[in-house]
Amino acid sequence: MPVGFGIVGCGMIANFHAQAIANLRGAKLVGCFSATFASAERFAGEQGCQAYETLDEMLANPEIDIITICTPSGAHLDPAVAAANAGKHVVVEKPLEITLKRCEKIIEACRKNGVKLCTVMPSRFGAANQALKKAIEDGRFGRLTLGDTFVKWWRPQSYYDSGGWRGTWALDGGGAYMNQAIHNVDLLQWFMGDVESVVAMTGTLAHERIEVEDTGVAALRFANGAIGTMTATTSAWPGFLKKTEIHGDAGSVIVEQDSVLHWEFQKKLARDKSVLSKLGPKTGNTGGASDPKAISFQGHLDQFKDFVKAIQTDSEPLVDGEEGRKSVEIILAIYKSSWTGKRVDLPLKSDPKRPS
């Protein structure tokens, strides 16, 4: 029997999930559900699955083993908890949710029902980032000193105007950090370790009719003593590939999108040349810098493979609920610092309140 998937939410990101499932050996997209049945019917017709009029009806199908949540960010909680309560394993598109309290409710529901949970962070599965992570684990950087990440993207006003939820605190949960740069926020803490404190500034500089930031900079101190920065924007025309730079007292690596731009260590290894030859710069990859549709589904496919393996072997997926919660907490700390003008220490004791 194939591993059966059901998708909740039939917007743009659901297409990436459907493509990943279609290319996952031994998997099948069984059904979909949307708050608007017409949307589910359209999606089902395109993807060759069944459209359900109610979520409960889809959750009752024994052929569905895994539910993937593709609703707007601030609407992940209810379907995720419902899926867990129905005994389904749960995949949640980033972010896990938009507050720590809501993240924790999803994590607890999955734990209580004995089902697996993962947060979609496909950047971790790219070959360049995997190679960088291994170099850190092998101690090749010596002492980590500086970690920077940059997401300088462009989104036209029409992007925010295309959906009533975009650019709202209630459903988007934030702007350039929570929606676009969260993948690199996740990567930087995965590489550098826990964040100890944050000082940040944010602003809305190039767009109208949105509540959230389109530009931000944050300085961080990590628990290991290293420092770093996180830059996020959707106001940088024409949009540039995202970049992560990791430095230590014995080495430096720069990754742009899925390519290694710089790979150098004091203690050289024979395989270093092959890293650059195999993972060096590629042409024609825009990586969603100016078009959110111009993103490959390969990362989703790799993560879905990891999740199915975790289910089959009763192990933890690479990005479980707790891992997904980390990037949300860092971003909320960035927001709190920008609102208060003060340094914010982590872990947060509670969800920060926006100024009225």
Cα–Cα distance, 87 to 64 (Å, whole number): 10
The proportion of the chain whose per-residue pLDDT surpasses 90, expressed as a percent, equals 93
Looking at residue 284, what is its pLDDT? 58
pLDDT the model gives residue 287 = 67
Tens digits of residue pLDDT in 175-193: 999 999 999 999 999 999 9
Q: Is the pTM of this model over 0.85?
A: yes
Residue 81 or residue 355, greater confidence: 81
The string of pLDDT tens digits covering residues 252-309 is 999 999 999 999 999 999 999 999 899 998 765 556 676 666 678 899 999 999 999 9
Q: How far apart are CA 129 and CA 131, in angstroms?
A: 5
Output the pLDDT for position 164.
80
Question: What one-character-per-residue DSSP string does 51-113 give?
Answer: EESSHHHHHT-TT--EEEE-S-GGG-HHHHHHHHHTT-EEEEPSSS-SSHHHHHHHHHHHHHH
Rounded CA-CA distance 19/160 in Å is 25
pLDDT at 293: 63
Which pLDDT value is given to residue 356?
75
Q: Report the distance separating Cα 152 and Cα 237, nearest Å.
A: 8
The pLDDT of residue 47 is 97
DSSP string, 204-263: --S-SS-SS-SEEEEEEEETTS-EEEEEEESBSTT----EEEEEETTEEEEEETTEEEEE
Q: Of 295 and 327, which is predicted with more confidence? A: 327
Report residue 162's pLDDT band, with 50, 70 and 90 as the boundaries.
confident
What is the per-residue pLDDT across 115-161, written as a single tens digit (0 to 9) for each?
Answer: 999 999 999 999 999 999 999 999 999 999 999 999 999 999 999 99
Q: What pLDDT score was predicted for residue 165?
A: 85
Averaged pLDDT, 300-327: 98
Residue 177, exposed/middle/buried by CB under 10 A (0-12, 13-18, 19+)? buried
Interval 196-234: pLDDT, tens: 999 999 999 999 999 999 999 999 999 999 999 999 999
- Rounded Cα–Cα distance for residues 322 and 277 (Å): 35
Render pLDDT for 2-19 as a digit per residue (tens, 0 to 9): 999 999 999 999 999 999
pLDDT in tens, 15-34: 999 999 999 999 999 999 99
Mean pLDDT computed over 322-334: 98
pLDDT band (50, 70, 90) for residue 111 = very high
Sorted by where each starts, the structural domains of the chain and their CATH numbers stand as 3-122+299-320 (3.40.50.720), 124-293+327-340 (3.30.360.10)
Report the pLDDT averaged over residues 51-70: 98
